[in-house]
Structure 1
Amino acid sequence: MMRKQWILCLLAAALFCGTAASLLSQEQEPVIPYVPPRPATTLVMLPDGSTVHVELARTEAEREYGLMGRTSLLPGHGMLFIHDRPAEYSYWMYHCKISLDILWMDADHRIVELSPDTPPCKGKASTCPSYGGHAPSLYVLELPAGSIKAHDLQVGQTVNFNLTR
């Protein structure tokens, strides 16, 4: 009788461990609703006088989706994320297929943080690192990788743009 109970205990433990391991291995990936690309109708002037055509990401859904799924970003193009209030915003590259340069700016459009050549995340959401978010910002500008170096962008410089509500 004792042997039979011991075997049943082992079987129950194995079943429990197998189920737990199975549940742990099935991490849920976030569901981020698709947001179609918007026209890049806003002009941003970089400190060196170069202009960039940007799409605006004003809503939570637009900011969350960002440049996901894009396989390229033309030189002189980007996306400007507009937050509702200044805070420390970190960004990740989940489902992004291209490297990007990321600039964080305060309410006066001064660059407060930079992340050059930010690589795409090719793994699960749980493996994607976050970038930035170390200084309060209101705006975040994503540009093609290499733009920070090409335009000699630095913390403290001002980026010029006008937003109409």
Structure 2
Amino acid sequence: MRFSFRSWMARVALALALPAGALVAAPFSAITAAAQTMPAGAKPPEAFPRVKLTAGMFVIDAAVAANDPDREQGLMYRTQLAPNEGMLFVFNENAVHCFWMKNTLIPLSIAFIRADGTITDIDEMQAETTNNHCPRNNGTYALEMSKGWFTAKGIRPGTKIQGLPQPQ
């Protein structure tokens, strides 16, 4: 392949003029963007244990937050989720567990779940807010997915989630 210095400079100028999203290195840029927005001491997304859950015919790839530090961080600082990716919060007690969206950069839907896997409540949450989102019923689990995911899949209270890990 032959090129001149002038054509090389034109390509560099074009690359600098394009928005960052137009560059093809999506996986690298996604990792870089996540690394840049994570504060020191925050657990990176790939460090959370994962579990496969099912809701009817849908398979969910869920990161698991089963201890206080992981539950406190949750999906904070994340800029995106894969289409069927979410976070499962596992609690050691059957109670009303409330959530908020402080430092959470993407809007989410949350399903509150009893110990037997039955969804009791679903709520929609706006990014970066401190509004409380509390279920009307006690539960042992909560599952966060991209905003609108449960509605788009026809999943509502009464649906059972399969594959839930046992609380510690």
TM-score (norm 2): 0.70
Residue of structure 1 aligned with 2:126, choices 119, 123, 126: 119
Name the Cα RMSD after superposition.
Answer: 1.9
Q: Distance in 1 between matches of 2:150 and 2:60?
A: 13
- For residues 148 and 131 of structure 2, the distance between their equivalents in structure 1, rounded to whole angstroms, comes to 20
Equivalent pair of 2:95/2:140 in contact (CA under 8 Å): yes
Change (3 A) 1:160 1:53: same
**Aligned-partner Cα distance in 2 for 1:132–1:86:** 14
Matches of 1:153 and 1:40, distance apart in 2: 24
SS of residue matched to 2:151:
helix
Q: How far has the Cα of 1:35 moved from its partner?
A: 2.4
- 1:69-121, Cα deviation, whole Å (9 max, x unpaired): 001111110100000111001100000000011000001010011013x1112
Aligned to 2:142: 140
| Aligned ranges 1:9-158 → 2 under 5 Å | 34-37=42-45, 38-39=47-48, 41-46=50-55, 48-116=56-124, 118-121=125-128, 128-158=130-160
8 A contact 1:81–1:141 mirrored in 2: yes
Tell me if the contact between 2:79 and 2:106 (Cα under 8 Å) persists in the aligned partners.
yes
Q: Decide whether aligned partners of structure 1 residues 143 and 40 sit closer, same or farther in structure 2, where only a CA change above 3 A counts.
A: farther
Give, in angstroms, the shift of residue 34 of structure 1: 2.0
How many residue pairs get matched?
A: 127
Q: TM-score, normalised by structure 1?
A: 0.71
How many angstroms does 1:39 deviate by? 4.9
User: What is the alpha-carbon distance in structure 2 between the residues aligned to residue 113 and residue 162 of structure 1?
Assistant: 17
Q: Equivalent residue for 1:19?
A: none
Which structure has the greater CA radius of gyration? 1
* Structure 1 consecutive aligned stretches of length 4 or more whose deviation exceeds 6 Å: none
Q: Helix, strand or coil for the counterpart of 1:64? A: helix
Percentage of identical aligned residues: 25
For each residue in 1:128-154, what CA deviation from the matched residue of structure 2 results, as whole angstroms up to 9, or x when unmatched? 111123210100000111211111111
The gaps in structure 2 that reach 5 residues or longer are 1-40
Deviation at 1:162, TM superposition (A): 4.0
